Amino acid sequence: MTNFIEYKQGYKYQLSKDHASNTGITGYDVNTQYLRLLPSGILYIDDGYAWDGPSGPAIDTSNFMRGSLVHDAIYQLIRDGHLPSSCRSEADNLLREHCMEDGMSWVRAWWVHKAVKYFARKAALPSRGRTIKKAP
């Protein structure tokens, strides 16, 4: 037994019900603690998965949440080496598609897509994984 905890910072939201999404990213068979990507392209995100929601100066609105969830999950799979970095483009496109399906205006969704395309590259790098911290 230890008298300290280990934790990661940076998460704002935690999924309270399993979610499935067709990503179009096919040919991969990935199974992690909270994420499963089937060769058919279906991504399963399990209850309890934590993500940080829309990043940067973005406003966390309901029409941004599903897109940010799926986008963050795919980026995590890229960071962790389960998917190649070439899957970033599909993740960025899915973000835009989910946001528009959920009621975001095409103008805002266009800006969101351009922002992640040009500024989120570092978020998919292995060095951008969450650092484990200890307390006390």
Q: What is the DSSP string of 117-130?
A: HHH-GGGGSGGGSP
Residue 34 lies in a domain: yes
Flag whether 5 is in a domain.
Answer: no
Integer Cα distance of 72 and 54 in angstroms: 9
Model confidence band, residue 122 (pLDDT cutoffs 50, 70, 90): confident
Residue 4 lies in a domain: no
Whole-number Å distance between alpha carbons of 1 and 13: 29
Residue 1 lies in a domain: no
Residue 60 is assigned to a structural domain of this protein: yes
The span from the CA of 79 to the CA of 97, in Å, is: 22
Total count of domains within the chain: 1
- 135 domain-assigned: no
Mean pLDDT on 23-42: 98
Domain-embedded: residue 97:
yes
What CA dihedral angle connects 8, 9, 12 and 13, to 10 degrees? Answer: 0
pLDDT tens profile 33-90: 999 999 999 999 999 999 999 987 888 999 999 999 999 999 999 999 999 999 999 9
Is 107 in a helix, a strand, or coil? helix
> Is residue 136, in this structure, part of any structural domain at all?
no
Q: Taking the model in full, what pTM does it have? A: 0.88
Considering the chain, what is the average pLDDT of its residues?
92
Give the structural domain span for 29: 10-130
pLDDT band at 121 (very low <50, low <70, confident <90, very high): confident
Task: Provide Rg for the chain, Cα atoms.
Answer: 15
Share of the chain above pLDDT 90, in %: 74
pLDDT for position 129? 67
